[in-house]
Structure 1
Amino acid sequence: MNWEQLLSLKRFGDNHKRLRKEQDETRLGFEVDYDRIIFSAEFRSLQDKTQVIPLSQTDFVHTRLTHSLEVSVVGRTLGRLAGKQLIEKYPHLQNIHGYQPNDFGAIVAAAALAHDIGNPPFGHSGEKAIGEFFKTGAGKQYKSELTDKEYQDLCDFEGNANGFKILTESRLGREGGIRLSYSTLGAFTKYPKESLPKKPTTHIADKKYGFFQSDKKAFEDVANELGLISRGSDGNMSYARHPLTFLVEAADDICYTIIDFEDGINLGLIQEEFALEYLIKLVRDSIQTKKYHQLSTTQDRISYLRALAINTLINEAVSVFIENEEAILNGTFQTGLLDKSKYEAQIKDIINISVNNVYQSKEVVEKEILGYQVINILLETYVSAINNEYNGTASNYNKLILNTLSGSIDTNEDLIYKRLLSVCNYVASLSDSRAILIYKKIKGIAF
C-alpha cells in the first residue's frame, strides 16, 4: 500500500478524484468528514446509548457520545504526531501532493468520531441480543431462506458493519450516504472482511467483520480506491487494514482502558487507593509527585493521573506505529499497537480490574438482562409485522405496528435477508430510552 493512494480525498458517491493541492485550507475535505458525522442524526443518538453503565443517571458516567468525542480527540493527536513523522519520512507527500501532518489527524479524528455510530442500544450486549434472536430465538426459522453468510451477518450482528452501512448507504435524496472521503471510510473499518469465514487467522483484522453482505460492493469500491491489499481466498472477501485504522483502534483502546476505569472509581465500584496504585504504575515516568500530593479530592487526583496516562499511551502508540510502519503498509502487522507496548502488562491489569468490578457488576448485568428482553421483543414484533405485510397476511395488530415505523423499513423488499437486516438496522438505531419506551408500549406497560 502507498500513502498517496491511502490519503484519497474522493468522496463516496463521487465520479472524480479530488486533489489535495486544490483543497480549501480553511475547510479541508477530511475536516468536512468530521462535521458531517457530528451533525448526523445517527451520531446524536449516541448521547443516550450505553458505554459501560446502562441507563446511568450519574453526570460523570460516559455515554457512547462522550466516549466517541474523547476517542476522536485522542485520535486527532495520534494522527498528527504520526503524520509529522510520516511527512518527514516521505517529503514528496507534502512537496508534490500538498499533504500536511494535520491531514492524518483529521482522518483519524473523523473515523474515531464515527467508530461507534452503528452500535445498538445497551452496549455490546445489544449486539449479542440481536444475534441470539437469530441463533436461538424466533429468528432461527429464517436460516433455511438465507445464505450461510447472510445468516452469519444476523447471528453475529456487528456494530462495526452497521456503522459502515450508516456511513455509506444511499437513500432518496442522500446518494452515497453521509458522503465521507474514502480515506475516512477506510480508516473507520477495523475489520475489512465479511462475516465468514469466522476468525480464519489470528490477525487482528480477522477478529470480527466490517460489512454486511448487502454492502460488499460498497466496501470493495473503497478498498480498490485506497489500494488495500486483498487477503481473501476461495471467493471470500478480505483486505488488509488501512494503516490509519491502527491509530483509530489505539485511540479507542486508550480511552476505554483509562476512562472506563475512571468511571468505575467515580461510581465506587473500584476502590480509590487500589485504583490509583495501578494508574501510578502507568505514569511513574511522568508524574510530578509534589503536584500530585497537593490534590485534595479523588476527582482531581484521578483527572491528573488520567491525563498523564492518556498522554503516555498516545506517545507509546505513535512510537509502535512508526517502528512498524513498513509491516503495516505490507499488511503483515498482526496485532493492535498497544499489544506491542512496553506498558502491555499495566494495561492488562487495569482492564482486568474494570472487567471484574465494572463490566460484571450487578448494576451492569441487571440492565443488560433488561436489554436482552427489550431487544428480543422489538425484533419479534417488527419481524413478524414486516414479513406478514410482505406475504399479505398482516393482522390489524401488525398494521398498527407498521404505522409506528413511519416508512423506516421497506415492507416491499423482496429479499428476506434485506427485510430482516433492515429490522435489525432500525432496532440498532434506537437509543436506550427510546427502545425501552417502545417496548413498554408493545407490552402495554403503564408509563
Structure 2
Amino acid sequence: MNWEQLLSLKRYGDKNKRLRKEQNETRLGFEVDYDRIIFSQAFRSLQDKTQVIPLSKTDFVHTRLTHSLEVSVVGRSLGRLAGQKILEKHPHLNTIHGYQMNDFGAIVAAASLAHDIGNPPFGHSGEKAIGEYFSLGNGKRFKDRLTAGEYEDLIRFEGNANGFKILTQTRPGIEGGIRLSYATLGAFIKYPKESLPHRPTRNIGDKKFGIFQTEKEIFEEVAGELGLLQVRKGEQVAFARHPLAFLVEAADDICYTIIDFEDGINLGLIDEEYALEYLIKLVKNSINTAKYNALTNTADRLSYLRALAINTLITEAVEIFLKNEEAILKGEFHESLFDKSSYEAQIKDIIKISVEKIYQSEEVINKEIAGYKMLSHLLDTYTSAFLPASPEEEDSNFNGLVRKSVARLNPGEGSVYNTLLEICSYTASLTDGFTVASFEKYKGLRL
C-alpha cells in the first residue's frame, strides 16, 4: 500500500480525480467529512445511547456522543503526530502532492467521530440482542429463506458493519450516503471483511466483520481506490486494514480505557483511592507529585491524571505506529497498537477492574436485561408487520398501524434479507429512550 492512494479524496460518484494540491485550504475535503458526520441524524442520536450506564440519571456519565467527540479529539492528535513524521519520511507527499500534517489528523478525527455511529441502543448487549433474535429467537424462522452469508450478517449483527451501511447507503434522493472521502471510509473500517468465514485468527482485522452483503460493492470500490491489499479472494473477500484504522482503534482504546474508568469512579462503583493508584501507575514517569498532592478533590485529581494518561498513551501509540509503518503498509502487522505497549499490564489491570466493577455492575446488568427484552419485542413487532409468514396470511389491522407508526422504516419490495437488514438497521438507530417508549407503545402501556 502507498500513502498517495491511501489519502484519496475521492467521494462516491466522482468522475474526476480530486487532487490535494488543488484543495481550498479554508475548507479541506477531509474536514468536510467531519462536518457531514456532525450534522447527520445518526450521529445526533448518539446523545441518547449508552456508553457505560444505560439510561443513566446522572449528569456526568458519558453517552456514545460525548465518547465519540472525545475519541475524535484524541484521534486528531494521533493523526497529526503520525502525519508529521510520515511527511518527513515521505517528503514527496507534501512537495509533489500537497498533503499536510493536518490532513492525517482530519482523516483520523472524522473516522473516530463516526466509529460508534452504527451501534444499537443499550451498548454491546444491543448487538447481541439483535443477533440472538435470529440465532435463538423467533427470527430463526427466516433461516431457510437466506443465504449462508445473509444469515451470518443477522446472527452476528455488527455495529461496525451497520456504521459503514449508514455512511454509504444510497436512499431515494441520496446517492452514496453522506459521501465521505474514501480515505476517511478506509480509516473507519476496522474489520475490512465480510461476516463469512467466521474464523477469528491472530489478525486483529479478523476479530469481527465490517461489511454487510448489501455494502459489498461499495466496499470493494473503496478498497480498490485506496489500494488496500486483498488478503482473501473468491466468494468472500477480505482486505488488509487501512493504516490509519490502527490510529482510530487506538483513539477508541485510549478513551474507553481511561474515561470509562473515570465514570466508574464518579459513580462510586470503583473506590477512589484504589482507582487513583492504578492511574498513577500508568503515569508514574510524567506525574508532578507536588502538583498532584496540592489538588484537594476527586474531580481535580481525576482530571489531572486523565490528561497525563491520555497524553502518555497518545505518545506511545504514535511511536508504535511509526516503528511498524513498513509492516503496516505491507499488510503484515496484525495486532492493535496497544498489544505492543509497554503499558500493556497497566491497561489490562484498568480494563479488568472496569469489567468487574462497571460493565458487570448490578445497575448495568439489570438495564441490559430490560433492553434485551425490549429489542427482541420490537424485532418481533417489525418482522411480523413487514414480513408475513406466507402470502396467504391475512394482514392484521395492528400490523398496518405498526407500518404507519414507523415511516422511516420503509424496506420497499426488497428481498427477505434486505427487508430484515433494514429492520435491524432501523432498530439499531433507535435511542435508548425511544426504544423504551416504542416498547411501551406496542405493549399498550403508553398512549
**Relative to 1, partners in 2 of residues 1:224 and 1:233: Cα closer, same or farther, differing over 3 Å?**
closer
SS at match of 1:231: strand
Structure 2 counterpart of 1:230: 230
Structure 2 counterpart of 1:438: 438
How do 1:47-446 and structure 2 match up within 5 A? 47-388=47-388, 391=391, 393-413=394-414, 415-446=415-446
SS at match of 1:248: helix
Q: CA deviation at 1:200?
A: 4.5
Q: CA deviation at 1:390?
A: 8.8
Instruction: Provide the rounded CA distance (Å) in 2 between the counterparts of 1:65 and 1:249.
Output: 17
| Equivalent residue letter for 2:46 | L
- Structure 1, unmatched stretches of 5+, are none
Q: Deviations over 1:131-187 (max 9, x none)?
A: 010000000011111111100000000000000000000112211100000000000
Q: CA deviation at 1:444?
A: 1.0
Contact 2:49 2:64 in 1 (8 A): yes
> 2:39 matched to 1:39?
yes
Q: Deviations over 1:18-75 (max 9, x none)?
A: 0001100010000000000000000000000000110001111000000000000000
Deviates further, 10-19 or 145-154: 10-19
Instruction: Provide the rounded CA distance (Å) in 2 between the counterparts of 1:125 and 1:356.
Output: 16
Q: CA deviation at 1:446?
A: 3.9
Q: Deviations over 1:265-297 (max 9, x none)?
A: 000000000000000000001100000011000
Q: Deviations over 1:378-426 (max 9, x none)?
A: 000000100139937321110010000115222422x100011010011
Instruction: Provide the rounded CA distance (Å) in 2 between the counterparts of 1:269 and 1:407.
Output: 39
Deviates further, 299-308 or 6-15: 6-15
Contact 1:390 1:411 in 2 (8 A): no
Q: CA deviation at 1:14?
A: 1.8
SS at match of 2:230: coil
SS at match of 1:208: coil
Contact 1:386 1:411 in 2 (8 A): no
SS at match of 2:178: coil
Q: CA deviation at 1:13?
A: 2.6
Q: CA deviation at 1:236?
A: 1.8
TM-score norm. by structure 2 comes to: 0.98
The sequence identity of aligned pairs, in percent, is 67
SS at match of 1:244: helix
Structure 1 counterpart of 2:15: 15
Contact 2:386 2:403 in 1 (8 A): yes
Contact 1:119 1:160 in 2 (8 A): yes
SS at match of 1:16: coil
Deviates further, 384-393 or 349-358: 384-393
| Equivalent residue letter for 1:202 | R
SS at match of 1:99: coil
Instruction: Provide the rounded CA distance (Å) in 2 between the counterparts of 1:407 and 1:207.
Output: 32
Aligned structure 1 segments of 4 or more residues deviating by more than 3 angstroms: 389-393
Instruction: Provide the rounded CA distance (Å) in 2 between the counterparts of 1:429 and 1:118.
Output: 7
Instruction: Provide the rounded CA distance (Å) in 2 between the counterparts of 1:200 and 1:16.
Output: 39
Deviates further, 402-411 or 136-145: 402-411
Structure 1 counterpart of 2:28: 28
Q: Deviations over 1:80-109 (max 9, x none)?
A: 000000000000000000000000000000
Deviates further, 296-305 or 399-408: 399-408
Instruction: Provide the rounded CA distance (Å) in 2 between the counterparts of 1:327 and 1:307.
Output: 31
Deviates further, 3-12 or 386-395: 386-395
Tell me the number of residue pairs that the alignment of Structure 1 and Structure 2 aligns: 446
When the two chains are superposed, the root-mean-square deviation of aligned CA atoms in Å is 1.1
Contact 1:389 1:411 in 2 (8 A): no
Contact 2:72 2:113 in 1 (8 A): yes
Q: CA deviation at 1:234?
A: 4.6
| Equivalent residue letter for 1:210 | G
| Equivalent residue letter for 1:331 | G
Contact 1:43 1:114 in 2 (8 A): yes
Contact 2:437 2:446 in 1 (8 A): no
| Equivalent residue letter for 2:404 | N
| Equivalent residue letter for 1:406 | A
| Equivalent residue letter for 1:219 | F
SS at match of 1:121: coil
- Structure 2, unmatched stretches of 5+, are none
Q: CA deviation at 1:17?
A: 1.2
**Relative to 1, partners in 2 of residues 1:200 and 1:359: Cα closer, same or farther, differing over 3 Å?**
closer
